[in-house]
């Protein structure tokens, strides 16, 4: 089949959904993974399938469970019999101040941001090699610049950066592997939600003086998949110049 297939973890909402819509518009078939956002996932694939029949699927999995990771990989390949790209987008993010961090938080943050991307890549590397495919990991600018009271998250994303480089070396020349490191793209939700004052302080440190949008990440992913055949092992910061600031 001529249309390439992409698996996007955490693809039902926010950056994942923007990426799914963007790649779908370019002719990709999209597999949207979700953990608990079943309604958002079904609405998204319904929207995409209405635009082009038999072009989107939704698959549920808890990426902190290795059995689920293996099952997701197997199901993704079986959907259309091929896989051309894996986007490791799913992530958990919340503060873990030293003195209060728990083993469960370690397992959750390391599991979603580092462990699951590694094992998904391991399960899917053979299928991706067959299609000369690509892996894109969503890192974070705080992999290099630690964020106060978020040590576990930053550790996980720093590992994600090295995972990208290691996979790029090991899977070459058959599979390209790159990362995208967002800055202030979408404000965190729930327990990690920021006050208006905190948001303003962050924006003030951004060279472009504004937060980004999910489409900024989606367009970078599109570039890496569709227009960058000689790029591998790189981490592209999409941060409006935030990392230029002290």
CA nearest neighbour of 13 among 150, 179, 235, 190: 190
Residue entry with tokens 């964020």: 147
For the record, the structure tokens of 239 come out as 């941060």
Catalytic residue among 34, 94, 153, 230: 153
Contacts of 38 (CB under 8 A, 6+ apart): 12, 58, 60
Q: Is 94 known to be catalytic?
A: no
For the record, the structure tokens of 6 come out as 């992409």
5-8/134-138 β-pairing: unpaired
Q: What is the DSSP letter of 194?
A: P
Q: Do 137 and 163 form a contact (C-beta atoms < 8 A)?
A: yes
3-state class (DSSP) for residue 146: coil
Q: What is the DSSP letter of 142?
A: G
Q: Residue 136 belongs to what H/E stretch?
A: strand 134-138
Name all contacts of 39-42 with Cβ < 8 Å and 24+ positions apart.
40/12, 40/13, 41/11, 41/12
Backbone angles phi, psi at 200, to 5 degrees: -65, -35
Query: Which residues are catalytically annotated?
Result: 153
């Amino acid at each position: 089949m001529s249309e390439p297939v992409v698996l996007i973890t955490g693809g039902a909402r926010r950056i994942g959904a923007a990426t799914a819509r963007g790649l779908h518009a370019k002719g990709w078939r999209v597999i949207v993974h979700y953990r608990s956002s079943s309604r958002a996932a079904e609405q998204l694939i319904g929207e995409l399938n209405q635009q082009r029949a038999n072009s989107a699927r939704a698959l549920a999995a808890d990426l902190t469970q290795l059995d689920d990771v293996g099952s997701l990989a197997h199901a993704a390949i079986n959907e259309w019999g091929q896989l051309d790209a894996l986007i490791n987008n799913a992530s958990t993010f919340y503060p873990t101040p030293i003195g209060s961090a728990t083993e469960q938080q370690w397992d959750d943050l390391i599991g979603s941001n580092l462990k699951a991307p590694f094992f998904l890549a391991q399960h899917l590397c053979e299928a991706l090699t067959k299609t000369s495919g690509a892996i894109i990991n969503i890192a974070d600018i705080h992999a290099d610049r630690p964020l106060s009271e978020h040590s576990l998250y930053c550790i996980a994303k720093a590992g994600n950066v090295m995972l990208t480089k290691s996979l790029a070396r090991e899977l070459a020349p058959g599979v390209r592997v790159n990362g995208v490191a967002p800055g202030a793209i979408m404000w965190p939700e729930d327990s990690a939600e920021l006050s208006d004052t905190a948001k303003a302080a962050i924006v003030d440190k951004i060279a472009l003086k504004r937060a980004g949008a999910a489409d900024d990440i989606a367009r970078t992913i599109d570039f890496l998949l569709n227009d960058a055949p000689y790029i591998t092992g790189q981490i592209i910061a999409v941060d409006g110049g935030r990392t230029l600031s002290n």
